[in-house]
Structure 1
Amino acid sequence: MLPVLLRLTFTSLWTQLLLYAVAVGVVASVAVNGWRGTLGPVDPKSGKEAPASSQDKLLRAVGFAGVGGFLAYFGLKYALPADAFPGGRGEGIPLHTYGVLLATGFVTAVAVAGRLAQDEWRRVTHVEGQGWVDTEGPKRREQVMDMAFWVLVGGLVGSRLLFVLVNWRDYADDWTQAFSLGGGLVFYGGLIGAGLAAFLFARRHGLDFLRLADVCIPTVSLGQCLGRLGCFSAGCCWGDMAGSHSATGVTFPGSRLALDLFGQPGGASSLAYGSQAGDSRFVVEATGEVLHHAAPGAVRISDWVVQHGTTLPVYPTQLFESVGQLVLFVALLYARRYRRFHGHIFALWLMAYAVLRTSVELFRGDLERGTLHGLLESLGAHGLAGAVPLEAWYNVSTSQFISLCMFTFGAVLLARHRPAGEGAALGSTPSAA
């Protein structure tokens, strides 16, 4: 695994000027995309879209540039030293494998969703002087591309908010830390935040949300397939103890052994290593059995990992889910041709992913993700927490509880919207409006 691919530093004048030029170029590109993507008013009688006014284009470009400039400011402040940028921290730009794969997954998912939207709303009409032209599909594709920005914002806010709620005791003394760059993100929080942003966008632009969800939800699995590979590279979301004799067990390195893309010390340990280095429990190395007290043949987890420089063998749950998400993506694309109503694919995804996530959670070992035991402890119910051991099967995680709710919602959606006796699949007429 490679937690950090490489670290870019900006200590010389020419590298600092280059970074400033890149920041200006990015902000300008964002503004241009905002200008070009402005949609004009739609005539309610003809249904045709009129060209956008220069004022609307300018306002949209300025708004996009403002957001890009805001992000560029914090990026420059983090990367440049104080003598090159006021208040600069001089941390450089570390290219984390997790971030690269997460961004790649998001961009790939958006691109595929845009193509699926164009096919979903395809309407071929004859236009004088142009011949037969798809007048609806490209417009819907552009709308999905526009929606991606708000989905990204909603996803980041939601994932951070759920992380803070799960770990609220860490922020109880100083809630301003919830807005710091440190800390983690939670997929389910991001899913809820992104879903809310997509719902509001659909309402704003007159789109059928369930139809839009059918188009976009399979691509969530595609993005998450790559995102979980990023989790594996960072050593987060790790599995439970697998035992030294397990064929599926993997180890994650500490800072002394973690290397970058060029084989040099990366200076960053895996999150799994940091967690196990502070774990005072005991483990039977051969079997992976975790104990809360010393016993013959058991070693303290923290002592073992510090001595060896890596974690004990754990299940690669990140890879389990990555493979499952890829299978889910392919299966739902195939199922689109057999859907019976708008929301059918969305309901199937809710149920299928809930089962996948709950199954993977059975092998997870990162207690930081939030469990029933941890919740009871945080509420001061130590007696009840003692009745729910950390390793008990009924010590459900926050994600398992959300999965149960999600599966129920998907089942209700499937039951309420299934038309009786309908024979034709919606997917057989992609050219319909």
Structure 2
Amino acid sequence: MGVLGIDPVAIQLGPLAIRWYGIIIASGILIGYLVAQRTAKKIGIKEDTLIDLIIWCVVMAIICARIYYVAFEWQYYSQHLVEIPLIMNGGIAIHGGLIGAFLTGFIICRKKNLSFFQMVDIVAPSIILAQAIGRWGNFMNQEAHGGPVSRSFLENLHIPEFIINHMQIDGIYYHPTFLYESLWNIIGFILLLLIRPQLKIGETFFAYLIYYSIGRFYIEGLRTDSLMLTENLRIAQVISIVIIVVSIACIIYRRIRYNPEKFRDVTGYYHN
């Protein structure tokens, strides 16, 4: 625990502990939903449709994020099978969550006869905003940080004192990589909203994947808790490179093959 003694448990109700991590993640999802709902309403998508989509995607994202993490830490979990469902003890991976969410969204869109690319364009800014907020849950847990640094290094970043103090763990200060990614994602949220009217259907989604992956690649290199593919190869960095390449290829392919419609400059929303 940091020198300020920030308790990761927000509310203790007998044996039930409500952690700040969960509250912050839930807040990010709610705020992301409210942002997406404004866009969905403008193009005539019913509120219940978006709610159903988000609920199913969030549930499957959590499940797949856990499966992804356990799969790459199987050497440990194969010996501790009882701990696999104990998600409250930590151990989820955002890439697994994104895979689960997007696959679920694709299936639901097919069943409801919705345009998958239209829907993911609507929610892409909300996803990166929710990620920006969610990283503060890592801060509360003092996790997902980088390697050791000096206090003077953190002071030179001109960040608030409470962050500096909470990045001291067992007498050692660490890179606030949660903050780097949170700020990167907030900037991405703003950029996606600004460029969306200029992009064709589906390209806001791919722009999100490219932008997030660029930041994740560099920030992941600073972290000390990375899932490793080999001794020196971080899984998240490999996945980030693959996502960037595939997303660029998809943009080019779709423009050549389908030439999709574009956002209208005046309204900023899709035109049917």
TM-score above 0.5: yes
Q: Which amino acid is 2:205 matched to?
A: F
- Deviations along 1:296-325, whole A, 9 cap, x unmatched? xxxxxxxxxxxxxx2411110000000010
2:120 pairs with one of 210, 213, 219 = 213
Q: Which amino acid is 1:156 matched to?
A: I
Pair 173,100 (structure 1): closer, same or farther in 2 beyond 3 Å: same
Q: Which amino acid is 2:210 matched to?
A: M
Conservation of the 8 A alpha-carbon contact between 1:147 and 1:198: yes
Is it true that 1:97 corresponds to 2:20 in the alignment?
A: yes
2:219 pairs with one of 351, 360, 365 = 360
What corresponds to 1:8 in structure 2?
A: 12
Is it true that 1:177 corresponds to 2:83 in the alignment?
A: yes
Write the distance in 2 (CA, Å) between the matches of 1:311 and 1:342.
50
Q: CA deviation at 1:431?
A: 6.3
What corresponds to 1:413 in structure 2?
A: 250
Write the distance in 2 (CA, Å) between the matches of 1:146 and 1:319.
31
Unpaired runs of 5+ residues, structure 1, are 11-90, 122-136, 254-271, 274-309, 374-384, 386-394
Q: TM-score, normalised by structure 1?
A: 0.55
Please state whether the residue corresponding to 1:396 is helix, strand or coil.
coil
Q: CA deviation at 1:362?
A: 2.1
Write the distance in 1 (CA, Å) between the matches of 2:150 and 2:217.
22
Q: CA deviation at 1:138?
A: 4.8
* Two-structure CA RMSD over aligned residues (Å): 2.3
What corresponds to 2:63 in structure 1?
A: 157
Please state whether the residue corresponding to 2:18 is helix, strand or coil.
strand
Q: CA deviation at 1:359?
A: 1.3
Tell me which protein shows more helix as a share of its residues.
Answer: 2
What corresponds to 1:313 in structure 2?
A: 173
Q: TM-score, normalised by structure 2?
A: 0.86
Please state whether the residue corresponding to 1:418 is helix, strand or coil.
helix
Q: CA deviation at 1:110?
A: 1.3
Pair 174,98 (structure 1): closer, same or farther in 2 beyond 3 Å: closer
What corresponds to 1:145 in structure 2?
A: 51
1:202 pairs with one of 97, 109, 114 = 109
What corresponds to 1:243 in structure 2?
A: 150
What corresponds to 1:111 in structure 2?
A: 34
Q: CA deviation at 1:175?
A: 3.0
Conservation of the 8 A alpha-carbon contact between 1:252 and 1:311: no
In the TM superposition, what are the counterparts of 1:221-370 in structure 2 within 5 Å?
Answer: 221-247=128-154, 248=157, 250=164, 252=166, 273=169, 310-339=170-199, 341-366=200-225, 369-370=226-227
Pair 103,239 (structure 1): closer, same or farther in 2 beyond 3 Å: same
Conservation of the 8 A alpha-carbon contact between 1:317 and 1:363: yes
Write the distance in 1 (CA, Å) between the matches of 2:81 and 2:138.
26
Write the distance in 1 (CA, Å) between the matches of 2:135 and 2:180.
9
- Deviations along 1:98-153, whole A, 9 cap, x unmatched? 1111110011111211221122x2xxxxxxxxxxxxxxx152x3211111110111
- Deviations along 1:22-43, whole A, 9 cap, x unmatched? xxxxxxxxxxxxxxxxxxxxxx
Please state whether the residue corresponding to 2:11 is helix, strand or coil.
strand
Task: Tell me which stretches of 4 or more aligned residues in structure 1 moved more than 6 Å.
Answer: none
Write the distance in 1 (CA, Å) between the matches of 2:256 and 2:233.
36
Conservation of the 8 A alpha-carbon contact between 2:125 and 2:192: yes
Write the distance in 2 (CA, Å) between the matches of 1:191 and 1:322.
17
Aligned residues: percent identity?
Answer: 25
Q: CA deviation at 1:245?
A: 4.0
Conservation of the 8 A alpha-carbon contact between 2:151 and 2:164: no
- Deviations along 1:273-306, whole A, 9 cap, x unmatched? 5xxxxxxxxxxxxxxxxxxxxxxxxxxxxxxxxx
Unpaired runs of 5+ residues, structure 2, are 158-162
Pair 217,177 (structure 1): closer, same or farther in 2 beyond 3 Å: same
Write the distance in 1 (CA, Å) between the matches of 2:192 and 2:90.
33
Is it true that 1:371 corresponds to 2:228 in the alignment?
A: yes
Q: Which amino acid is 2:122 matched to?
A: V
Conservation of the 8 A alpha-carbon contact between 1:343 and 1:413: no
Conservation of the 8 A alpha-carbon contact between 2:262 and 2:270: no
Is it true that 1:400 corresponds to 2:237 in the alignment?
A: yes
Q: CA deviation at 1:5?
A: 4.8
